[in-house]
């Protein structure tokens, strides 16, 4: 039985505490309104959107600002524009697989074929790809009916061609792992009740687009880790914690998007899973997610500090990568708090603490000092240090 909410008769409200964020938030010095508009218009022209609403949801949620917040120390304007185009195409590619208006059409078989094609195109970017397969790729891409997909792999190739064979191979391998994880998500729909927190965590970390995003730190900040450095247990643990935190922030703030049609059923949202399997009500699930977000950040700092204080030699490239992940976590969290993608096109402001009330038009947000005295506040327990 589906977990449903009658959005016409029920006002969904939950109390949101101010999220713990120990990391600094910056914005790229290259970001400005003129650049933003140019990059958004560029992406809109290549997106193959079925409706204006789809374009608004995918592009005008301001992915350019997301990149400016998540990777503030991009070393050149050229790299800033290149990566902004790449990440916008990245979002278009994902949405075409997942959204009802996209090429995947929310159909299991169509989505499997969509991701299978993406993996085939990705494989042609390897250094050891036979020349005839690369030629077939170029022919296929030149005649493809999906200009956004042609563009994303062209931009990925452009970025990877400027990097070492080590970085190229590592990025392709991790991107393939992400696609393989994402390709099974539609097959898991309706299985929310079968997932507990740990099962969901293992699944979500492997299928989230966060890893190919964080690997771009090497390109954007002009550093290179060896495979030995990247696969160091501490680097891998920090990357997992970063990915988990990014997933939870997305789950928390995308909740309106997931349940605005009244059905709280989505295998890619931990709140929907915890409510659907009957273990928590909506309020308790939100509290648990906030606690997990804070725990992941505390744990990230603990693991990093313990390693840094161990006396082990840690290269500048590794330290830059770790520092970049911190900016990525804080920037991603800030963007989610103010994104029209998740709170509706009329949304203005940044969420701190207060009430979220959902309607068919989007999110209505009430700050704590504006709270309705008739509402019984279920406050969160203080976090135990």
Q: How confident is the model at residue 343 (pLDDT cuts 50, 70, 90)?
A: confident
For 7-28, how does the pLDDT look when each residue is reduced to its tens digit (9 = 90+)? 444 445 566 666 778 899 999 9
Report the topology of domain 13-370.
Farnesyl Diphosphate Synthase (1.10.600)
* Both tokens assigned to 51: 């409706």
Report DSSP letters for 10-75, one per residue.
---EEEEPPPP--S-----TT--HHHHHHHHHHHHHHS--SSHHHHHHHTTTTHHHHHHHHSTT-S
* Gap between the Cα atoms of 55 and 48, Å rounded: 9
Average confidence score pLDDT of the chain: 81
Cα distance between residue 312 and residue 304, in whole Å? 12
**In the chain, domain spans:** 13-370
| Cα–Cα distance measured from residue 242 to residue 214, given in angstroms and rounded to the nearest whole number | 9
Whole-angstrom CA distances from 288 to 271, 335, 372 are 9, 21, 24
What is the C-alpha to C-alpha distance for residues 192 and 271, in angstroms, rounded to an integer?
10
330 confidence band (pLDDT: 50, 70, 90): very high
Compute the distance between CA of residue 194 and CA of residue 241 in angstroms, rounded to an integer: 24
pLDDT on residue 384: 24
- pTM check: above 0.85: yes
Using only the alpha carbons of the chain, give its radius of gyration: 21
The reported pLDDT for the residue numbered 10 is: 45
């Amino acid at each position: 039985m589906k977990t449903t909410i009658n959005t016409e008769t029920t006002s969904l409200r939950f109390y949101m505490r101010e999220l713990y964020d120990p990391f600094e938030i910056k914005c790229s010095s290259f970001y400005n309104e003129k650049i933003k508009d140019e990059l958004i218009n560029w992406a809109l022209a290549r997106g193959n959107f079925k409706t204006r609403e789809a374009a608004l949801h995918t592009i005008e949620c301001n992915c350019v600002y997301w990149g400016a917040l998540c990777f503030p120390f991009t070393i050149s304007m050229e790299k800033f524009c290149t990566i902004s185009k790449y990440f916008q195409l990245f979002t278009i590619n994902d949405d075409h697989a997942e959204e009802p208006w996209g090429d995947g059409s929310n159909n299991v078989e169509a989505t499997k074929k969509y991701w299978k094609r993406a993996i085939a195109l990705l494989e042609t970017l390897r250094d050891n790809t036979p020349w005839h397969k690369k030629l077939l790729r170029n022919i296929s891409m030149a005649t493809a009916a999906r200009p956004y997909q042609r563009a994303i792999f062209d931009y990925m190739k452009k970025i990877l061609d400027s990097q070492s064979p080590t970085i190229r191979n590592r990025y392709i391998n991790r991107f393939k792992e992400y696609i393989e994880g994402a390709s099974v998500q539609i097959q898991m729909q309706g299985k929310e009740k079968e997932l507990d927190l740990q099962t969901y965590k293992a699944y979500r970390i492997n299928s989230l687009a966060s890893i190919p995003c964080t690997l771009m730190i090497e390109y954007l900040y002009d550093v290179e880790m060896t495979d030995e450095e990247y696969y160091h247990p501490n680097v891998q643990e920090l990357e997992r914690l970063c990915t988990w935190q990014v997933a939870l922030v997305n789950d928390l703030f995308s909740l309106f998007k997931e349940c605005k049609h009244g059905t709280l059923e989505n295998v890619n949202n931990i709140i929907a899973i915890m409510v659907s399997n009957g273990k928590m009500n909506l309020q308790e699930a939100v509290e648990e997610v906030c606690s997990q977000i804070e725990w992941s950040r505390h744990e990230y700092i603990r693991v990093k500090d313990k390693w840094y204080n161990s006396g082990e030699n840690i290269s500048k490239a590794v330290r830059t990568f770790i520092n970049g992940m911190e900016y990525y976590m804080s920037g991603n969290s800030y963007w989610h708090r103010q994104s029209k993608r998740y709170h509706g096109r009329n949304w203005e402001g940044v969420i701190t603490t207060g009430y979220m009330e959902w309607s068919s038009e989007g999110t209505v947000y009430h700050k704590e000092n504006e709270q309705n005295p008739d509402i019984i506040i279920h406050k969160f327990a203080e976090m135990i240090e």
